[in-house]
Structures are given as C-alpha cells and as structure tokens.
Structure 1
Amino acid sequence: MNRLRSTADRLWNGSIEVARRRANRITAWVRSSPTSRGSWVRLGVVLGLGWIAVRAVRAAPGLLWIVAAGWLWAAYRAGRDHAPEPLTEGAEPAPAEAAENAPDGPSTEAVRTLLLDLMGDARGVHLSTVLAHLQQHGQGEGWKVGDLRARLEALEIPVDPKLKLGKVPTRGVRKDALLAPSPTVGQAPSPEASTAA
C-alpha cells in the first residue's frame, strides 16, 4: 500500500510539474513576440492547435489512450525530482528564500548585466520578457513572474509594479533604477557609530 501511495504521489506531483512547464513554455512563447500584434497571432496559433486537438480526439477517441500514456510517462519522470520535501515540526516553507541564499546562485552584478543586455536601448524590461529569456536558455524552469520578482528583490534589484513599455504596464525593472547605486553599497558609517566605537 505504501509503494502504491508513493507512486500515486509521484504521478500527482509530476502531473502538476508537467502542466506548469507546458503552461510556462506556451506563455513565454506568446509573450516573447517583439510586437503586441505578434503576441495576438501566437495566441491565435495556440488556440487553433488546441481546437484541432479537440476535433482530432472527438473524431478518434482512441487517441486519448496515447495522450494519457504519454502524459503519465512524463508525469512519472517529472515526479521523481519534484516530490515535496516533508516539513519538520514547527518549520515553515520558504522556497524562494532558500533559493536566493543558495551559494551557487547568480551574483547581483551578473543579474544586473543580464537585465541591461535585455533592455538594450529601452528604458526598462518587463519581468515576463526576462523570464521568457531565462526559460529559453534552460533556467527558471517552473518559475512564474512572482518567483522572479522575489529573487530580484532579494538581490536588492528594484522592481516597478507598473513599468509601461509600449502600451502594456506590468512588472518590470527600470534602467535608471538599475544604474542607480544600491543603498547598501558604498555607504559610509554614520559619525555617531564611529564615535561610539
């Protein structure tokens, strides 16, 4: 019974992970279009493919067996690495905090350089654009914009809640805020603190 339960949990967690990955990839692809018209066209392509898939399954219901088998296989594989860790008594989950404090995380300077590269001549960059770039390069798998925002804020990179680029106001990083010196960098100690020492 315990083995059956662990297999069911693995399939459950894996299904969530597979769905999240697919949704993130589709969203990133739609949003990565350089123009808003291109984003609408890409959204139309996604909806059209979904409609074709539904029509194909209605015409040949046996296709569902193949789809289900493929989904279960992907979920089983993804569930191996994404099982939830048990919490010790009294401990609270803090996945974002743990990820920011990991020793192998990127430095603030590396992140600033990446953001400036993505901005180019623009006055800022939307977090959805940054996330799409990261996921296209095999990073940030399963992240949402909120996860990226939390990581940037942990690196003391200010995030604007309504950065307007083109006609779309959404979360982003402004170039002027990124180029401004960090308040904690190069701060001289206060005279009171020096005299107290």
Structure 2
Amino acid sequence: MSAPTTMQWIRQAGQRISTGSGRLAVHLAAQAIDRGRRIWRRATGWLGEASGISWLLRLAVLLAAAAILRKIVTAVAIGVYVRIDSGAAPWLMWGAAGVWVVAAYRCGQDDWEPKKPATDAPQPADGHPAEAAEEQPEPAAEPPLPILPNLRTSLARVGTPHAHIAALAADIGTTPERVREALEKWQVPVEPVRMKGRGTSTGVKGGSAVHPALAPRPEDAAVVAAGQATNNDNNNAEEPTTEKGVRVERTQTGGYRIFDLADAHRHHRVDQS
C-alpha cells in the first residue's frame, strides 16, 4: 500500500479535526453539565442538613457565594473579550485555537472514548455519605456462650474429676474462649488442673473441690444437650450409648448421684463437704 500524498493527508487530518471538534464540544458540554449537577447536589445536601435559623444562614451563604462567583465570571469574560477585540492579546486567540485543534485531532481518532465523569457517593435521606456499594462480608456467627447448667453437667460428664477448658468446650460444642468467658462471668476459678489420660492444662476443679456454682443440681438433667454421650470414667474414652443424657438424684447424706443413662450400672457420686 502506497503512502498517502500530502493533499490526502491534509484532507484526512481535516476530516479528523472536524469529527473530533464535534466530539470535543459534546464532551465538554457533558462535563460542564455533570459538574454543575454535582455542585448542585452538594449545595442542596449541605442545606438539607440544617433547619430553622441555621437553614436560613446557610441559604444566605450560598446566595452570597453565587453572587460573588457570577461577578467574577462576568468580569473575566468581559476582560478577555475586550483584549481580544482590541487586538491587545493576539496570542490568546491563537493559543486557544491551537489547543482546540490539537485536542480535536486527538478526539477524532477511531478508538477515542470520552472520559467517564466522576460520580459522587450516593447520599441517603439524612444527607450523610452512604457506605460503599460493595457488600461487606458478614462476620461469622459467634459461638454460643455456655450457660451455668451446661458447665455443671459437662464437668460431671467429662471431669476425672477435674476438666480442662478445651475438654469442656468440646463437650458443650463451643470454643475454649467462650467457656473461659462463662467461667469468668460466674467467678469460677481457672487454674492448671490434671485430667487423667490428658495431663495438666488450664481448667476447673471438680469432685470435692468443685466450686459452689458448678455443684451438680437435679434440674440440670433437663438442659443436657440431646445426642451428647455421657462419660465419667477415668480415661475419658467415648463409648456408644443406648440412652442420651444424665439423671441426677440427691442422696440422704446431702450429696448427689449422677447416673449415666447409657449405663445404669455406673454412676458418679458427689458428696458435699
């Protein structure tokens, strides 16, 4: 393909400038309208935040700013027109024309696209900026906080007789942090204890040293979670069950017997000291 001649290049450049001039005029007009709308929204939003005397004062400030801006724009426009009309500033006209031709030539290319106008954050009815449109991921549900009957029955179930916080959490179905929070709420001492088959770790004491808040009570049998196997032997091993839950009975000496419904021949006795 042969290179275009000078006349062909001039003709193509003129066509491109003509096309670009139309695009540039529309683009500048759209930008001016968009900027005016954004200024209007900000002004009305700022005015809508007030009421009563404050609203009147803000309205007066906006009207005064509009009057001053009108005078400035009018003075600048008249000054520029007078200098161009008198020929005192020929560079101004030629400079503006040169800038326009260069901008129109760039806008006339086939793959030109106008810049997207900046958009303000959406404003709710109260005038405060709205949060980002992108939805934030919802926080994960917090594990349940054990109630006192849960702690008592769990200690009777997994204690040997002492129980680690981690063992209580696994038995109740929550996290060690939530168990610790519940123990602090009920002012139950937390200290290093030894569970048979598990060693020593942070936990609570059971047996004769059990805290009064954790002493077994008959009504606790009603709050034992269904489906949790009860296990009170020394090695804390889980065994299959035929029934679910525990039964608590008061003894004649003032203590309690806790029966594992899965094994009627095994029980754990707690006597009050």
**Which protein shows a greater Rg?**
2
Q: Same fold (TM over 0.5)?
A: no
TM-score for the superposition, normalised by structure 1: 0.36
Quick check: which one's helix share is greater?
1
Asked which structure has the greater RCO (Cα within 8 Å, sep 6+), the reply is 1
Q: TM-score, normalised by structure 2?
A: 0.27
